[in-house]
Amino acid sequence: MKVVVTGSAGFIGSAVSIYLLERGDEVLGIDNINDYYDVNLKLGRLERVKAYDKFTEAKINLEDKEKIFETVSKFKPQRVINLAAQAGVRYSIENPSAYVDSNLVGFCNILESCRYNEVEHLVYASSSSVYGANTKMPFSVHHNVDHPLSLYAATKKANELMAHVYSNLYGLPTTGLRFFTVYGPWGRPDMALFLFTKNILAGKPIDVFNYGNHRRDFTYIDDIVEGVIRTLDNLPEKNSEWDSDMPDSASSFAPYRLYNIGNNTPVELSRYIEVLEDCLGKKAERNLLPLQAGDVPDTYADVEALVQDVDYKPNTSVETGIRTFVEWYREFYKV
């Protein structure tokens, strides 16, 4: 197939692109290579992807409507995977306009491009952060998610609503994936595992929020990629049993689906740090702090729907995942 992947220099986007290219698909990668974090890391990921003959690079901002339309129309993809977004819960408190531009305006441009180019399936990144003030565990796609705790989360919830409109009005099959704390080699340096590793090796203290008591459904990158590709290949259908008196938020009378994509095995942050210490052979000095604004105490994904529909099977333990990350980190940064 011909597949557009936005965020192709990103953590998940580069890994998804490589998977598609390895199986013989043609990929157009769209990324603006911004400096939200280390550009050299993004360029390093991109070099891995550019090694494949069937990869085409396009350096564009999602909010540049004309360039997005022109580029997508020329490529004529069958399917689109939208992974580009302004990421980060805490950064959204400091720079809200960046999230409006990329996550709302940019996503609208992707939807319009899919509509006018008769794309067969749009798969897009949502986030576990949409669960916001929800406390019932595990988080289910069938739960109400109307109380986000950050602008980042609100933009991801908005993406789900926008996608539904296009599924309804134009019959565009759309699938949203709510990612749960993705980690692994080539990961984002603003994420906990990266920050912890850097500081522990440098002999500096690590900031441990919520005093290390919160739990995260840490999901290894290979398990995430497998889920994304299986979802891409499984077009959503209309739910003939959808009932407006008892509406299911995960499906619709339109070709629309939402899934959680996580490990289904939450781990306490303090345990996560212990595993990292073992892999590094060095103890961390912990700076225990309260929960940050906009953050949630726990995440735990109910992935049953994804298991049933695409046979999704996350199977990477944090012990294996962190060890692989540490090996990559030492090699990449020569430490």
259 is known as an active-site residue:
no
What three-state secondary structure class fits 203?
coil
Contacts of 32 (CB under 8 A, 6+ apart): 59, 60, 61, 62, 84
Residue 290 makes CB contacts below 8 A (sequence gap 6+) with 209, 210, 211
Question: Can you name the residues that pair with 179 across neighbouring β-strands?
Answer: 127, 261
Q: Which of 190, 229, 16 is nearest to 87 (CA)?
A: 190
Other CB atoms within a 10 A radius of the CB of residue 48 amount to 14
- List Cα–Cα distances, 95 to 87, 91, 102, 107, 135, in angstroms: 11, 6, 12, 18, 27
Q: Which two tokens stand for residue 139?
A: 């988080």
In this structure, what token pair is assigned to residue 310? Answer: 């695409």
H/E element holding 5? strand 2-6
Which pLDDT score is estimated for 91? 76
Mapping DSSP to helix (H, G, I), strand (E, B) and coil, where does residue 216 land? strand
What pLDDT was estimated at residue 20?
Answer: 98
Q: Could you identify the residue written with the tokens 């998977």?
A: 19
- Alpha carbons 255 and 238: distance in angstroms, whole number: 4
What local confidence, expressed as pLDDT, does residue 202 receive?
95
Nearest to 310 by CA among 257, 271, 265: 257
Q: What is the mean pLDDT of each run of 10 residues along the chain (335 residues)?
A: 97 98 98 92 97 97 96 98 85 84 95 98 95 90 92 94 98 97 94 94 93 89 97 97 94 98 90 96 93 76 94 94 98 94
CA 145/CA 264 separation, integer angstroms: 19
Q: Is the peptide bond before 138 cis (omega within 30 degrees of 0)?
A: yes
d(CA 174, CA 177) in angstroms, rounded, equals 10
CA distance 107 to 79: 15
Is beta strand 121-127 parallel, antiparallel or unpaired with respect to 219-220?
unpaired
The pTM of the whole model exceeds 0.75: yes
What's the rounded Cα separation, in Å, for the pair 113 and 286? 47
Selecting among 152, 166, 256, 312, the annotated active-site residue is: 152
Is residue 262 within 8 A of residue 219, CB to CB? The reply is: yes
With a CB cutoff of 8 Å and minimum separation 6, the contacts of 53 are none
